[in-house]
Amino acid sequence: MTASNAIRALAVAAFALPLVVTPPALAAGSHGHGNESHAGIPGNAGNVTRTINVTMYDNYYEPEAITVKEGETIKFVVTNKGELVHEFNIETPDAHVAHAPEMQMMVDHGVLEADKINWEMAKKMQKEMGHGMHEEPNSVLLEPGKSGEIIWQFPDHADIEFACNVPGHYDAGMAGEIELIH
């Protein structure tokens, strides 16, 4: 094994560790996304002013920061080029923290595995608990090699970021700033 492959394997293993050893969540959090979000609202495809491509790796995004105009509607094309499941979620920092218990619950119920989403377990969790499918207009949860899209209209004057809320990833710094300009 080359030195770079050894470092990569170590980084992937360390980043995946929270999926295996985190304690069970006490309660599921509420997304608070969609139309109630302080980070904006689902956008209309006819109002998109531009497309921003976002690539997710195993501990960071490219680009690391995004600038948008207040009220602008953006289409995000998100691709996961990492070896782990990752999320691109547009929200306020407080909402990301509030979202963590729900993501942990998805791990605890076998929905989120290090490198895949177990859709059968997601359906079971949805049936038993009323949530588990992780379908929100401000978020895409992607397996390695997969892509997704979000069309989002940004608000005026808000503290917003994009982040991966898979347990351990946000805490490891997998987040980026969204700067709103006039």
pLDDT value of position 21: 35
SS (H, E, C) 58-97: CCCEECCEEEEECCCEEEEEEEECCCCCEEEEEECHHHHH
Query: pLDDT by residue (tens digit) across 27-50?
Result: 223 344 434 578 999 999 999 999
Question: Considering the entire predicted model, what is its pTM?
Answer: 0.81
Domain limits at 79? 3-181
CATH number at residue 117: 2.60.40.420
136 contacts 28 by C-beta, under 8 angstroms: no
In total, how many domains does the chain have? Answer: 1
**Mean pLDDT for the chain overall:** 83
Query: What was the pLDDT predicted at 132?
Result: 66
